[in-house]
């Protein structure tokens, strides 16, 4: 699988192909070397989608006070997502 194919693939396409390979393996057929390599690439693509969703979710979180008049300390949090983002 080329890098361009990985970038162009949707999450649904990756999951469909992962499930097809899993069904083949579960049925007792062995996967070819090409299919094993493809499965590895598909998992990488899928995990990339999951990482992106987690990062997006974490970046969208906004902390608010339950009681606006209460004494609170303002904290500036810088979300370091470098460990969640995997470079290809």
Output the pTM of the full model.
0.65
In this predicted structure, what is the pLDDT of residue 19? 96
Per-residue pLDDT of the chain (88 residues; tens, 9 = 90+): 888 888 888 999 999 999 999 999 999 999 999 999 999 999 999 999 999 999 999 888 887 766 666 666 666 666 666 666 555 4
Q: What are phi and psi of 77, to 5 degrees?
A: -105, 125
In this predicted structure, what is the pLDDT of residue 50? 93
Q: What secondary structure, in 3-state letters, does the chain show?
A: CCHHHHHHCCHHHHHHHHHHHHHHHHCCCCCCHHHHHHHHHHHHHHHHHHHHHHHHHHHHCCCCCCCCCCCCCCCCCCCCCCCCCCCC
């Amino acid at each position: 699988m080329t890098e361009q194919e990985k970038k162009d693939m949707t999450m649904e396409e990756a999951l469909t192909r992962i499930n097809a390979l899993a069904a083949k393996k579960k049925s007792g057929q062995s996967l070819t070397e090409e299919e094993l390599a493809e499965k590895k690439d598909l998992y990488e693509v899928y995990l990339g989608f999951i990482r992106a969703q987690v990062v997006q979710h974490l970046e969208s979180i906004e902390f608010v006070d339950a009681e606006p008049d209460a004494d609170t300390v303002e904290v500036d949090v810088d979300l370091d997502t470098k460990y969640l983002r995997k470079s290809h």
